[in-house]
Chains A and B, each alone.
Chain A
């Protein structure tokens, strides 16, 4: 299995693109993609100064593994490397909240795989965002009820 998953407690360690690149690097793959989610400065017409991420770590890791494992059957992508890390804790604007790095033999399946993973994480991984605003207020985002496959 070429899968790496981790929840990064940002108080204790960094999230690093280089590690993702190294993990998926292989001459058997002709296409690799690195998706980074970063903290944006506006949401719903509010000026955002940062986001605190919360996570149910064990369930998040479980969801990442389930998403990886079902790709064989659902997307028919057998040959792949996948690296997923998500941060918990406070992030400033522009900082990375998630890295999804994938490598496949061909580009078409790499694009499909990368998009599939982030969309499924949004639906199934218990991660929450609390936005902090310029007026020093903060707010948990509403989100959607968790979906279980």
Chain B
């Protein structure tokens, strides 16, 4: 299945596009999806520690704009948003 990770805030530095695309074989929890993103950083940014920290401290949101827990399972093609630590205003 295809999971589109929509990028926001500091995570935008992970790509020139607004998203990253992952091909994943079977259902995956957010906890394990995070590991996939960290692997992406290892492979594409030589394990950049700052980028890894961003991922580790981020929350994630579903397509219907709800924050989802680490136990949430992705079971089909969908968009997931990464929500790094916030600070607007």
A residues in contact (CB < 8 Å) with B: 37, 53-56, 58-60, 62, 86, 97-98, 118, 121-129, 140-146, 148
Contacts and interface: CB of A to CB of B under 8 A. Distances in A.
B86 A144 contact: yes
Given A59-B61, A145-B57, A122 B89 contact: yes
10 contacts: A37-B89, A56-B83, A59-B81, A121-B89, A122-B86, A122-B88, A126-B8, A126-B88, A142-B87, A144-B87
Contacts of A128: 8-10, 84, 86-88
Contacts of A127: 86-89
Contacts of A97: 88-89
Interface of B is mostly: mixed
A1 to B, nearest CB: 20
Interface string B52-72: 000001110100010100000
Contacts of B83: 56, 59, 126, 146
- Interface residues on chain B, size class: 10 to 19
A78 B85 CA distance: 32
Contacts of B13: 140
Interface in B1-37: 8-10, 12-13
A62, A97, A124, A140: most-surrounded residue (chain B CB, <10 A): A140
A129 B87 contact: yes
A97, A128, A145, A148: most-surrounded residue (chain B CB, <10 A): A128
Nearest to B58: A145
Interface string B34-49: 0000000000000000
A60 B8 CA distance: 12
Given A54-B8, A54-B9, A143 B89 contact: no
